[in-house]
Structure 1
Amino acid sequence: MDQLTALRALRRVVELGSFTAAANALGISHSIVSRQIRQLEHQLGAQLLNRTTRRFALTAAGQQYYLASRDILDALDAADRAVMQQQALPSGSLRINAPMAFGALELAAWLPQFAAQYPQLQLDLVCNDRMVDLIEEGFDVALRLARGLPDSTLVARRLASSRMVAVASPAYLARHGVPATPPQLAHHQCLLYTLADHPDTWTFTDADGATQAVTVRGSLQANTGIALRTAALGHMGIASTAAFIVRDELASGALVQVLPGYTLAPRTLYALYPHSRHLSPKVRALVDFAVAWYRDRDWD
């Protein structure tokens, strides 16, 4: 027996005054309503209704049970409405994880606009450059830059492609020379991003599509692109970094591109979130906003 269904049937019978009216309201037959009430009485071991051929009346036990079950059904209906209302409008806390450089430099361009569009949301942004466990650490969505993603039960929504560049300061190049080909990087101080799959291997592609993988060395490695940018500005060496991290420095001339005739494999920006049959409105709102933001934008 479905006790919840039987409780709803009992309530309809009592409040509408007849089995027939209750059956019509529930869209089932008179006999099904009668059977549900009998099964409920059998489970409780108590008679809830005194029946005659024409009418019925609640017993003392039935009156007590009806009032208690009515309160339970009202509370359940209120909970249903609250959840459905929340599902209809993005609200509540939205926990976002993002890389340090992306959070500091790129999210600042569009997160305020997103927050203004959804004032019912409370945003909790945590920036770090490691792959977090979204479920274990309680994040709703993560924004990740990667050349590829490991197998996972997470949903990965592609947002954009980020160009990679090798950069150095003019002072460093004046002191140590300008490399003309990728193999010449072996004679330079290179600044390594420790969280890359192979931080000491940089793969370049020339104009003809030929690739060259170069093993690089350096006296500094760091787990954030911001630190590598700072080191490059301090004339410490050549950094391989996402173009958006050094966009302003390239424009001002504080840093210059090294090996401009070659390209590095780009990274892809993904939105990652747990798989669910019913994606929450707050996660959907963020992902859809980011997709629209990067759709026609050359963010590098």
Structure 2
Amino acid sequence: MTDRLSGISVFVTVVEAGSFALAASRLHLSRSAVGKTIARLEQRLGVRLFHRTTRSQSLTDDGALFYERSLRALAEIRAAEALLESGKQQVSGRLRVSMPVLFGRMCIAPILTALAREHPGLDLDLSFSDRVVNVVEEGFDLAIRNGALPDCAGLVARRLGDNRMTLCAAPDYLIRCGVPESVEVLAQHDAVTYIHAGVIRSWLIPLADGTTREVIPKTRLLMDDLQAIADAAEAGFGIAWLPCWLIRESLLKGALLRVLSEVPGVDFNVHAVWPQTPHLPLKVRLAVDALVGQLPARMVF
């Protein structure tokens, strides 16, 4: 029975991944192992599940019917597991999470690894990528999103906290070039600026009347990596607009100083999103609760 359920799970993953190779990557198996599992499943059922060519694969009519029923069966099994888990705090199984690279490494991963240490039965599969993954199609249990949420059809979202941005510069730069006294003079200063997908990110500065001014800095250095921007700002190349969680230690030791500190920072929401299910798996609930409880303290200064 275990082999049968394993074969069905592999089959569903192959269908959703769209290829044996991608399914093998998601399952942490070799492509050969996935192919052999599907072949055994087809032999047991006595039908062909896929039309295969050297360049593509597609479901047969029997395969489409079996996929529909398999999804229902797996959903029932997962719901039953969630119900049983909800009555106890001993979580088990693999938790697959997608998160932004730098933010994930510095803020999210330490919380989740501490959770795994607390629950020895919990296995983590952490994926670090700055692209917006398709949570359902790519088989993630949970994803962390910074900023505005894209279309979340079929997903549940929970706000984890606020990602606060602040202006900062090295003491050496401020001695050489002067301390900005107002938002208006920011554009006259050298800046280390973030660029993404060919677009230079302007700075958003809240004003006293509740509006926000968009400042386009006089860019001296363009970089597409936040840590590199922080390093360049600390080296005295100019003013940078960076998240507090990234420069907390530099601010504490005085390697960077806040600029226009009386101006409130801009906050971007951080959310956890996960597939909508009748019963939330315990491993997801515990992970989200841990992030809600611990993440805000890591993002402020």
TM band (smaller chain): 0.5 to 0.7
Corresponding position of 2:152: 152
Residues in 2 aligned to 1:288 and 1:250: alpha-carbon distance in whole angstroms: 29
Query: Contact 1:162–1:242 (CA<8 Å) still a contact in 2?
Result: yes
Unaligned runs of 5+ in 1: 1-79
Unaligned runs of 5+ in 2: 1-75
Counterparts in 2 of 1:229 and 1:201: CA distance versus 1, 3 Å: same
Corresponding position of 1:191: 192
Corresponding position of 1:9: none
- Who wins on radius of gyration, i.e. which is larger? 1
1:35-60: CA deviations, max 9, x gaps? xxxxxxxxxxxxxxxxxxxxxxxxxx
Whichever residue aligns with residue 218 of structure 1, its letter is T
Query: Contact 1:164–1:263 (CA<8 Å) still a contact in 2?
Result: no
Range moving further from structure 2, 182-191 or 215-224? 215-224
Residues in 2 aligned to 1:286 and 1:265: alpha-carbon distance in whole angstroms: 27
Query: Contact 2:107–2:295 (CA<8 Å) still a contact in 1?
Result: no
Query: Contact 1:200–1:217 (CA<8 Å) still a contact in 2?
Result: no
Counterparts in 2 of 1:272 and 1:194: CA distance versus 1, 3 Å: farther
Whichever residue aligns with residue 181 of structure 2, its letter is A
Counterparts in 2 of 1:243 and 1:264: CA distance versus 1, 3 Å: same
Query: Which secondary structure does the structure 1 equivalent of 2:168 belong to?
Result: strand
The alignment's C-alpha RMSD in Å is 3.0
Corresponding position of 1:225: 226
After TM superposition, the runs of 4+ consecutive aligned structure 1 residues lying more than 4 A away are 80-83, 195-199
Corresponding position of 2:59: none
Query: Contact 2:79–2:279 (CA<8 Å) still a contact in 1?
Result: no
* TM-score, normalised via structure 2 length: 0.64
Whichever residue aligns with residue 257 of structure 1, its letter is R
1:162-210: CA deviations, max 9, x gaps? 2211111112222332222223222223223334997432221234535
Counterparts in 2 of 1:196 and 1:82: CA distance versus 1, 3 Å: closer
Identity %, equivalent residues: 36
Query: Contact 2:166–2:266 (CA<8 Å) still a contact in 1?
Result: no
Alpha-carbon distance, 1:151 to partner:
2.6
1:247-267: CA deviations, max 9, x gaps? 110011000011112123211
Corresponding position of 2:288: 287
Query: Contact 2:229–2:240 (CA<8 Å) still a contact in 1?
Result: yes
1:81-105: CA deviations, max 9, x gaps? 8974575153222111222222222
Query: Contact 1:129–1:223 (CA<8 Å) still a contact in 2?
Result: no
Whichever residue aligns with residue 142 of structure 2, its letter is V
Alpha-carbon distance, 1:286 to partner:
0.7
Query: Contact 1:93–1:124 (CA<8 Å) still a contact in 2?
Result: yes
2:122 aligned with 1:133? no
Q: When the two structures are aligned, how many residues end up with a matched partner?
A: 221
Whichever residue aligns with residue 166 of structure 1, its letter is L
